Amino acid sequence: MVEKISVAEARKPESIGRQVILQGWVRTRRDSKAGFSFLELNDGSSLGNIQVIAGQDLDNYQTEIKRLTAGSSVTVRGEVRQSPGRGQATEVHATSITVHGWADSERYPLQKKRHSFEFLRTIAHLRPRTNTFGAVARVRNCVCHSIHQFFQEEGFLYVHTPIITASDCEGAGEMFQVTTLDLGKLAQTGSPPDFSLDFFDRPSYLTVSGQLEAEAFACALGKVYTFGPTFRAENSNTSRHLAEFWMVEPEMAFFELDQNMDLAERLLKRIFQDVLARCGEDMKFFNQRIDPTALETLEQIVASRFVRLSYTEAMDLLGRCGERFEFPTRWGCDLQAEHERYLTEKHFRCPVILFDYPRSIKPFYMRLNDDGRTVRAMDVLVPKVGEIIGGSQREERLEVLEERMREQGLNPDDYWWYLDLRRYGTVPHSGFGLGLERLVQFITGMGNIRDVIPFPRTPGNAEF
């Protein structure tokens, strides 16, 4: 029997003796003087290739096989045998090879030499064919699978919150507007746009977060999560910001901040454990090529407890630590990246959950503490990447929430439906947002967030 199997499958010693069909792309070809060739074949199922041995008995050996170059696509039929070579358990002895597509070696950009990540961003449609981007794609897939598994096992309901919205969750702007108004025509007439004529009869935007809508579902169904694309028009060209990114947002009725922190810690550890167990080969690659501490960091975190520290305690610590920061710390100001790095990389050397931030630097929906100065916010900070999760216990008291909106220049009337959740059967509840790309960045050690999403959207960048 001949079976179509993946390269990953064919690489396992259990496959020895099987008659198989493999389909993929040639990474390299080497010819031996003895009249046969070695092809390294990859189909994306694993980082490692399989070695295919093609002899001159193949009818297209001279005409085609000896012309195969990196990037060509083939179907190989043959038998999996034990490999005498080092570093691989198996190899495939081909009985036939069909060439589907050639890749002109004069022009195909992915030749043997290693390319910079900057260059690979200019060929984002081809970079999935490289070792690094294949490994990132597999780890990212594993992380998503693990996220869904975790929440499903914990009894969460997966809800889909809208991508187009008329409410601004952060109350901070930086949103992409969605419109069908004719901008060219508007510019010619010079008159201000009349949004009552727009598609949704009002200004509308791409969502910056599904939280507000998730709250509506949590306040009926208990524990829910949304997991989808999120958009921020922040014009920041950093290695940690994208204009389009994916966010996991659990929202739980009857959860207070401590339970929220427990959930975040359990979720992250579960993901790290799954990646270590399921992506061993890819993680070893990241450890060798990208970040020599990648594996050790994850293993250590899975076994440790996250440090929990109030914002005020963190400010005291940073003020007294004797480190020279570019931005001095002051109570009431947000932490800078250098402060986050000091806490996670130098002082505690592990993830840190900061909580109870000043009310003035956090959004209106975070629950006000009895001290009147701080809110029940929590940020999870990790080494290298900094903030990976932002969350809070939500303000469930109607009057306090309205007051906080006004304080931040928002009109409570615009949020009438959100306030209804407090008018009818309000409950303490909590949630957070975990940025998928920051998480994959942290796990893999990849330095730039643009290299952990298939087609990054950043200022000036949306060609592919």
Q: Where does this chain bind ligand ATP (CB under 6 A)? A: 170, 232, 234, 241-242, 245, 247, 387-390, 433, 435, 437-438
Closest separation between CB of residue 433 and Mn ion, Å?
Answer: 7
Residue closer to ligand ATP by CB (options 5, 175) is 175
- We find the least distance from the C-beta atom of residue 350 to ligand ATP, in angstroms, to be 17
If the CB atoms of residues 198 and 387 are measured against ligand ATP, the closer one turns out to be 387
Specify the residue, 169 or 219, whose C-beta has the smaller distance to Mn ion: 169
Cβ of residue 220: shortest distance to ligand ATP, in angstroms?
24
Half-sphere exposure of 364 (CA within 13 A, CB side): 25
Q: Which is nearer to ligand ATP, 177 or 237 (CB)?
A: 237
Single out the segment in contact with Mn ion by CB under 5 A; choices: 58-66, 242-250, 251-259, 387-395.
387-395
> 329 vs 94, 337, 403, CA distance in Å?
66, 12, 28
Residues whose CB is less than 8 angstroms from the CB of residue 389 and which lie 6 or more positions away in sequence, other chains included: 264, 268, 378, 379, 380, 432, 433, 434, 435
286 neighbors 138 (Cβ within 8 angstroms): no
# binding residues, Mn ion (CB under 5 A): 1
> What is 168-213 written as a DSSP string?
-TTSS----EE--S-HHHHHHH-PPP-GGGSTTSS-EEE-S-SHHH
Residue 188 has which token pair?
């010619």
**Whether 429 contacts 396, CB under 8 Å:** yes
Q: Which does 388 bind (CB under 5 to 8 A by kind): ligand ATP, Mn ion, none?
A: ligand ATP
- Give the span between the Cα atoms of 24 and 325, in whole angstroms: 51
- Cβ atoms within 10 Å, residue 117: 16
How do 90-101 and 73-82 pair as beta strands?
antiparallel
Of the candidate spans 68-76, 278-286, 293-301, 390-398, the one that interacts with Mn ion by CB under 5 A turns out to be 390-398
Shortest CB 232 distance to ligand ATP, Å: 5
The minimum distance between CB 145 and Mn ion, in angstroms, equals: 25
Nearer to Mn ion, 390 or 431 (CB): 390
Q: Which stretch binds Mn ion (CB under 5 A): 63-71, 91-99, 365-373, 388-396?
A: 388-396
Q: Is 390 in the site for Mn ion (CB under 5 A)?
A: yes
Tell me if residue 456 falls in helix, strand or coil. Answer: coil
Beta carbon nearer to ligand ATP, 65 or 453: 453
Residues β-bridged to residue 178: 204
In the complex, which residues of this chain contact Mn ion (CB under 5 A)?
390
